[in-house]
Structure 1
Amino acid sequence: MKRLHPLLYFLCLLTTSILQGQSLQEEYIHFAQKQQQEYADFRRKENEAFSKFLQKDWTGYHQENPVERPAKPSPKEPLFTQKHPGYKPVDIPKVVDRPVNNPSSAQEKDEWLKEPFILSGISEKEIAYAWESLSQTTYEPFIRHSLQMKKENHWCDWAYVLFIRQLADKLCRESDNNSKIIIQMFLLCQSEYKVRCGRSGDQLVLLIPTDCMLYNKMYLNIDNEKYFIFGYETYNRQPVYTFQKDFDLSSRKVSMYILPGQTMSAETLYSRVYSNRQITINANTNKSLIDLYKEYPQCDFSVYLKAPASQEVSLSVLPSLKKAIHGKTTKEAAGILLYFVQTAFKYQTDQQQFGFEKPFFIDECFYYPACDCEDRAVLYAFLIRTLLNLNVVLLDYPQHIATAVCFDENIPGDHLDIDGKRYMICDPSYINAGIGMAMPALKNTEAKIIR
């Protein structure tokens, strides 16, 4: 029997391997397609079941009064009359806005609905029919694309909610607010967010549970959980009717916390110059991010404390501050940063500046003309954590907010013990006061610790 030529033998083995590889690839593709089809069938059945559930009579809930956030700062800016130890107080030149051009990149959007969505009515059966109709469209590619954009740009959940709201505004007629609510509920539920719609009189509202308290927002208490009310019109005080359970595939509450690396379109940057004899800051803020924060409900202070600064602010502000504290001891550096926050910003209460309470995220301190005690405390805490890598907490007094910093050395002055560690009071609103100096009126006042 003749032996196969080695080259022919190798070709036979190679051909067999290729055929086996193709077979495995085909099996994998077939398996993936089967899995996708099974999941699509599963979602279809869930949507059908939910559509039937929506037809059942809805339950009426009393609108709960909003939880009011107490106004923190006093109208008059507090001042420590002695000179700041080691730093000479100086006048801060007037801040001037100047726009900085920055081209934006167009974002590709998947097409979904070709015609404006029109809700036939707001009865249970009409809303159930709308859900059924929307679930029969090719919405899945749009949801995948939208969630991928959220992931790539590190959007927080509230940014995604606003994105869906803007989409609903485009997909519905301008005055058709009820249709917009249904579009938002459908897309957010398909994105696995736990939301509902509610009916109050002749208008629909969106009901959103969140992972923290929202202040000055009406809400429904459903099974001991707060569903905050969002709508397009002025709320009446009639009962709000809604269905008894959430969509089974939507289990996530909307988180109000900001993610690191969040990226927004930078069509317009605004630059402000802060200058004194020690430090000159050219702070850039992203107008798109500022617009997002304008639409942010009032949250627990921990949301603002834990929020990162944007890339624009970090790159424009931190280098100058790093240079100012280079070669200093930790205490000296913390004092320089404290004095900067005390003196580089005009002081106004939220009522004076806006007419309502508006806690700032870090970037907003560098955009608006003035800030108050809670805003300065959040900013100082960010600078201490970022530049000195020290632990810092907020001190929430009945009418004021300050900070306390845990130093690696024993520093004399006003302090409090937290978890067995000494935290020195540093008050960014007590002008010219140094480390370990609390306002006299607050020395014996208990404060809530915010981490």
Structure 2
Amino acid sequence: MRKFGELFAATLLFSVGMYGQAACAQSDFETYREQQQQGAQKLKTEFQAYKEKQDAEFADFLKGRWREFETLHGKPLIKEPEPKQAPVYTPPVPAKPAPLPVVEQPAAPPVLPPAPPQPKLPLAANTLEVMFYGNAVRFPFDPQWREYRVSTGEKPEEMSAFWSMMSGSQYEPTFQAISDARRQLQLDDWGYASLWRSVVQALQPDRRTEQNLLLWFFLVKSGYDVRLGYVGMDVHLFVAVRQQVYSTKFIKVGDQTYYAVLAQDHGDSIRSFYTYEASYPVQLKPLDIRSAAIGFPRPEPGQRALAFEYKGNQVKVNAPYDRRLVEYLDTYPQSDFELYFNTGASSLFRQGLLPELKKYTAAMDEEEAVNFLLAFVQKSFAYKTDEEQFGHEKSFFVEESMYFPYNDCKEHSAVFSWLVRELLGIKVIGLLYPGHLTTAVKLKRVKPEFATVDYQGSQYVIADPTYINASVGMAMPSYAKLKPNRVVDIR
């Protein structure tokens, strides 16, 4: 009994000790957590003070000297005029048509009834909704943003006061909502800037000057290098872009080039304007348009029936595409060939067209498969120069080629190179000649009669998707003896 009592006492003392240790540990944890929270709050307070100091400095800079800058004309992507008509090669008449694999002709997809509209939740106070290429985006806003009006006073003072007003407003929740939308919609830099443009249009309908001021603030606060300027009562935005932009006016401030890509007329109506010489206290970055977003989550299907003749056989395929993506890509700044060659297509387009063509190319050797795709592009897409179709130079992405009725050599080359890479896995390069863009492919077997070019130690065979009826290895006669001005390396 005595031993039991001693054991019980020892157990009790151990339990009390353990409880005391646990209580002490809990107390230490609570103290640690409180210290961490205090530290985080201190950092937040310090960061807020740092941002306020930056904004105050920038507002003061804006009161300083503004200098007049002359706008410069952007050069076109292709300087020399393109051929008015696509040349046609007349091949020898074959004894009889070569048979193609027996393939079921594609049936037009059934027309599905539109999905019933989703019930809309009521908007909360000080909340707006914009439709961005079929996708609803909601965001909160500070009421003073809608009430702001530009005065007729001195512009440097006006811009400084505007920046002070905006930087002191409740803008963080709006930035969070737009950042969330960017992630959900898989937007690139241009898409992000375009979404902000939709936001400012909703905040200040039909007020271009106020819209540009708001867009300037939102993009600079997002970390992008945007230059604001004025002439009279008009306010303009010029944006730094990492890549070359064509057919768009620009200015040079120091070593940085700024383009009028946010102006509907590409800046054509702007001769000069005043802009500040100071820089924002934080390092800003240019827009990056190396490739365009193609993954919009709510596509609007379009359909194009394509037909062409190959070795005496009629081939028909259906090519679905995303109308909303085409609408978005149509707003993209005109940039270098790499942008159009290296941007893919929507899943709607890929899953619709590629399997149809694969039914034919799967049974062909490499050379014949390339010839089949050449015939598809040469004969399915009618040729017309940009000047004839639009009145100005324009380049298409692959998806856009399905929508517009005519294509030229740039679009033929982009579509053909995309198909060759996707279906055959063959390396392709672009070849720029005066007034003409074509392609060359890296074949496993190069015949002696093939027209070729050497690039980075490899031999590429000319494959011209604009030279109608020409097969791989045949160069357009007017360019056969010329060396390309430039080689476009396609990823």
Please report the TM-score for the alignment, with normalisation by the length of structure 1: 0.89
Quick one: which amino acid aligns to residue 348 of structure 2? E
Q: Which residue of 1 aligns with 2:475?
A: 438
Which range moves more in the overlay, 278-287 or 289-298?
278-287
Equivalent residue of 1:371, what SS?
Answer: coil
**Structure 1 residues 61 and 146, CA, compared in 2 at 3 Å: closer, same or farther?**
same
Extract unaligned runs of 5+ from structure 1.
Answer: none
Q: By how many angstroms is 1:87 displaced?
A: 6.4
SS of the residue corresponding to residue 73 of structure 1 reads coil
Q: CA deviation at 1:371?
A: 0.9
Instruction: Give the Cα separation in 2 of the matches to 1:197 and 1:325.
Output: 53
Matched, 1:200 2:231: yes
1:24 Cα deviation (Å)?
A: 4.7
Correspondence for 1:252: 285
Residue aligning to 2:209: 178
Shift of 1:256: 1.7
Equivalents in 1 of 2:228, 2:259: separation in Å?
11
| Other-structure match for 2:301 | 269
Does residue 81 of structure 1 match 2:101?
Answer: no
**Alpha-carbon distance in structure 2 between the residues aligned to 1:288 and 1:371:** 20
Quick one: distance in 1 between partners of 2:430 and 2:369? 19
Identity rate, percent: 25
CA distance in 2, matches of 1:280, 1:109: 46
Amino acid corresponding to residue 111 of structure 1 in structure 2: F
Instruction: Summarize deviations over 1:83-107 as a string: whole Å, max 9, x none.
Output: 6988699xxx9xx999874675533
Following superposition, the deviation at residue 330 of structure 1 comes to: 2.2
From 224, 247, 252, the equivalent of 1:221 is 252
* CA shift for structure 1 position 15: 5.5
Q: Alignment partner of 1:214: what SS? A: coil
Contact 2:185/2:296 (8 A) holds in 1: yes
- Tell me by how many angstroms 1:242 deviates: 0.5
Aligned to 1:406: 442
Comparing 143-152 with 346-355, which one deviates more in the overlay? 143-152
1:324 to partner: Cα distance: 2.1
Q: Counterpart of 2:184?
A: 152
- Letter in structure 2 aligned against 1:408: K
Matches within 5 A, 1:91-240: 101=114, 106-113=136-143, 115-121=146-152, 123-174=155-206, 176-229=207-260, 230-231=262-263, 235-236=268-269, 238-240=271-273
1:416 positional shift: 0.5
Q: Report the equivalent of 2:10.
A: 3
Equivalent position SS for 1:408: coil
Q: Which moved more, 1:275-284 or 1:176-185?
A: 275-284
In the alignment, is residue 37 of structure 1 matched against residue 45 of structure 2? yes
Alignment match, 1:65: 73
Distance of aligned partners of 1:237 and 1:110 in 2 relative to their CA distance in 1, 3 Å threshold:
closer
Instruction: Quote the Cα distance in structure 2 between the aligned partners of 1:76 and 1:430.
Output: 10
Does the alignment pair 1:54 with 2:91? no
Contact 1:345/1:370 (<8 A) preserved: yes
Matched, 1:307 2:343: yes
Q: What is the aligned counterpart of 2:393 among 357, 364, 374?
A: 357
CA contact (8 A) 2:305 2:318 kept: yes
Question: Displacement of 1:279 after TM fit?
Answer: 4.7
> Aligned partners of 1:409 and 1:217: how far apart in 2?
43
Number of corresponding residues: 444
Q: Shift of residue 446 of structure 1?
A: 2.0
Q: CA deviation at 1:249?
A: 2.6
Aligned residues of 2:137 and 2:181 also touching (Cα < 8 A): no
Q: Distance in 1 between matches of 2:421 and 2:215?
A: 38
CA RMSD of aligned residues (A): 2.9
1:226-250 residue CA offsets vs partner (Å, 9 max, x unmatched): 2112446775554321111332335
What one-letter code is carried by the residue in structure 2 that aligns with 1:36? Answer: K
Secondary structure of 1:370's aligned partner: coil
Q: Deviations over 1:56-110 (max 9, x none)?
A: 0201112212213326531112111116988699xxx9xx999874675533323
Structure-2 change in CA distance of 1:197 and 1:64 (3 Å)? same
The alpha carbon displacement at 1:20 in A equals: 5.1
Q: Looking at CA atoms only, which structure, 1 or 2, has the larger radius of gyration?
A: 2
Inter-partner Cα distance in structure 2 for 1:56 and 1:313: 53
Please point out which of 340, 346, 350 is paired with 2:382: 346
**Kept after mapping to 2: 8 A contact 1:415/1:425:** yes
Q: Structure 1: how far apart are the matches of 2:98 and 2:30?
A: 74
The 1:21/1:87 distance shift into structure 2, 3 A limit, reads: farther
Distance 2:477 2:203 in 1: 57
Deviation at 1:208, TM superposition (A): 0.7
Q: What 5-or-longer segments of structure 2 have no aligned partner?
A: 1-5, 118-133
* C-alpha separation in 1, matches of 2:467 and 2:264: 41
State how far apart, in whole Å, the 2-side matches of 1:28 and 1:72 are: 67
Q: TM-score, normalised by structure 2?
A: 0.82
Question: Displacement of 1:120 after TM fit?
Answer: 2.2
2:487 is aligned to 449
Looking at structure 2, the residues matched to 87 and 261 of structure 1 have their Cα atoms a distance apart, in angstroms, of 38
* Residues in 1 aligned to 2:381 and 2:388: alpha-carbon distance in whole angstroms: 15
Kindly state the Cα deviation for residue 385 of structure 1 after the two structures are TM-superposed.
1.8
* 8 Å Cα contact 1:113-1:171 kept in structure 2: no
1:419 aligns with 2:456: yes
Deviation at 1:139, TM superposition (A): 0.8
| 8 Å contact from structure 1 (residues 63, 238) kept in 2 | yes
Matches of 1:83 and 1:31 in 2, distance apart? 83
Q: Which residue of 1 aligns with 2:431?
A: 395
**1:200–1:240 CA contact under 8 A, matched in 2:** yes
